[in-house]
Structure 1
Amino acid sequence: MKKFSVLIVALTFVLALTACGAKQSGGTKVKFATDAAYAPMEFMDKDKMTGFDIDFLAEVMKVAGMQYEVVNTGWDTMLTSVQQGKEYQAGISSVSITDERKQSYDYSIPYFESVNMILVKEGSPIKSATDLKDKKVAVQISTTADTLMSKIMGQDNKSLKRMDNNTLALLELDNGGVDAVVADVAIVREYIKNNPNKKLVAIADPKNFDSEFYGILLPKGSELKAKLDPAIKTVIENGTYATLYKKWFGQEPDTKKLLGQK
């Protein structure tokens, strides 16, 4: 999208400077980076940042009693800046906990269970991830969808289009540039819900796509983990988490399974 016009570049720059926060008592303000292009998890509603992650973080930081702000930096910038741990001390942006990322980051305890899904147009012959081998597929770069499809299609496969964000990946499907998009279940379901006239189909493939869990991203050795983990556990256990989950997804979460993760 950055390549399409100067106007969009300017808009992206403005959004990257947009921040939301909550005033809590005590301590230095913690700066969280995010990629607010991931509805319904985190996204911009006009000039306001909103979404499940944003509401969840507000409750966590309230329990922890810490001042904070969230800045829309974009995905790649978030990953780089949180690893450095200078300007941003944490990242919250539907970040899956993976063994590869654990080599470069620490995480909070898991707070959300997700799984990747395949999004196609009605009438598509695609029924599973293995059907994507010889198709054109769009994913957001440096996500678990990228990792999964790189294994299935090949790391250097030119038919695997790695986009800067899921909005561009979905646009590529709309325009006929790809046969499918692979993204997190929340993203896929939200897009179908908001675009009923586009006649889209979501395909689950538990054989090839395992469940994954999101955590708050932290620099290696971060002291924030000791403060965030108990607060996250409290928000999940005291019923606040279920209230937020029902608000954004219309159903009850499996908090038992979530709390069983380490």
Structure 2
Amino acid sequence: MAFTLIFIMVAMALSACGSTTPAPGAAGGASTDAGKTTASTLDAIKKRGKLVAGVKFDTKLFGLKDPGTGKVEGFDIDLAKALAKQILGDETKLELKEVTSKTRIPMLNNGDIDMIIATMTITEERKKEVEFSDVYFKAGQSLLVKKGSAIKSVADVKKGVKALAVKGSTSTTNIRAKAPEATVLEFENYQEAFTALKAGQGDTLTTDNAILYGMVKQDPNYEVVGGTFTDEPYGMAIRKGDTAYTAYVNEFLKSIKTSGQYDKLYEQWIGEKPSK
């Protein structure tokens, strides 16, 4: 009897040591078990009383931080505010965390942010890592050059030409495919790349035309040339498997388009009405 009792106690101890409980992410994200989402990001946001959004700090028109005031402004920022207001009734219940093309998915998966609203192109490869909302902005890749440049289109990006791009962006992959003989130099963010272009470290900077137009507003000595040579539909990214929050965000996008709020923000930041 004593031997049997000891055996049972040892078995119970071993069982306790081997059990684990998954912990939610730092930003209150959904915990998972065998790849299935057990709690929605939406529930975590409501419980916390704050939406934590990953946004760009270096992209004029979409998300740019004013070094003087510390304020971040742009189209993506205003969409994040509108979403915070819909979820929590107050647009100020929002924390903006800086992401880059390189860091945004790791930060989302680590639970540092609830979602990404950061000029992120929807691709099949990225769909393997995150859930995407419906398209909220349609862009296309183009080229930025100094006025008077001999580069007029992607056909002019040949051997000997230095093209500047940002690490982790689809633009880097695209320019290598479209101009395989050119030299591609990668930078951490758009402001670094633009600074390098102005310093003469490259001949052209390539990314989505909407981002490039923002750079032209910063310095009119530069221009966007050659039209677009890719389609770059932007989506908001959510943790893989969180279909409940993805559906909520899609309903949010529909509601602000129906109300006219989306068109108003689009025209405010982009300078024209969205194409239908």
For the aligned pair, the TM-score class normalised by the smaller chain equals: 0.7 to 0.9
Q: Which residue of 1 aligns with 2:271?
A: 250
- TM-score norm. by structure 2 comes to 0.75
What amino acid maps onto 2:184 in structure 1? L
Structure 1 segment 1-262 matched on structure 2, within 5 A = 26-28=46-48, 29-45=50-66, 46-65=69-88, 68-84=94-110, 86-134=111-159, 135-154=161-180, 159-196=183-220, 198=221, 200-206=222-228, 209-222=229-242, 223-254=244-275, 256=276
Larger Rg: 2
**2:102 counterpart SS class:** helix
Kindly tell me: are residues 57 and 114 of structure 1, through their superposed partners in 2, closer, same or farther at Cα, counting changes over 3 Å?
A: same
**2:272 counterpart SS class:** coil
Deviation at 1:194, TM superposition (A): 2.5
Deviation at 1:26, TM superposition (A): 4.2
- TM-score norm. by structure 1 comes to 0.79
Q: Which residue of 2 aligns with 1:6?
A: none
**2:274 counterpart SS class:** coil
Kindly tell me: are residues 158 and 95 of structure 1, through their superposed partners in 2, closer, same or farther at Cα, counting changes over 3 Å?
A: same
Q: Which runs of 4+ in 1 moved over 3 A?
A: 25-30, 64-68
What CA deviation, in whole Å up to 9, does each residue of 1:138-170 have, x standing for no partner? 01111121111121234xx78200110111111
**1:76 counterpart SS class:** coil
What CA deviation, in whole Å up to 9, does each residue of 1:23-72 have, x standing for no partner? xx944333222231111100102311111100112113323447542212
| Preserved CA contact (<8 Å) 1:35 1:78 | no
Q: Which residue of 2 aligns with 1:9?
A: none
CA distance in 2: counterparts of 1:244 and 1:253, whole angstroms: 10
Gaps of 5+ in 1: 1-24, 257-262
What CA deviation, in whole Å up to 9, does each residue of 1:190-227 have, x standing for no partner? 2212312x2x2211334xx2222111111111232121
**1:189 counterpart SS class:** helix
Gaps of 5+ in 2: 1-44
CA distance in 1: counterparts of 2:79 and 2:203, whole angstroms: 34
CA distance in 2: counterparts of 1:143 and 1:179, whole angstroms: 19
Kindly tell me: are residues 201 and 87 of structure 1, through their superposed partners in 2, closer, same or farther at Cα, counting changes over 3 Å?
A: closer
Say which structure, 1 or 2, has more relative contact order (CA 8 Å, 6+ apart): 1
| Preserved CA contact (<8 Å) 1:35 1:93 | yes
CA distance in 2: counterparts of 1:180 and 1:76, whole angstroms: 21
What CA deviation, in whole Å up to 9, does each residue of 1:57-105 have, x standing for no partner? 2113323447542212444222211134x22221111111111111111
Q: How many residues align?
A: 224
Q: Which residue of 1 aligns with 2:37?
A: none
| Preserved CA contact (<8 Å) 1:136 1:160 | yes
**1:125 counterpart SS class:** coil
CA distance in 2: counterparts of 1:27 and 1:227, whole angstroms: 16
What amino acid maps onto 1:95 in structure 2? M
**1:106 counterpart SS class:** strand
| Preserved CA contact (<8 Å) 2:52 2:114 | yes
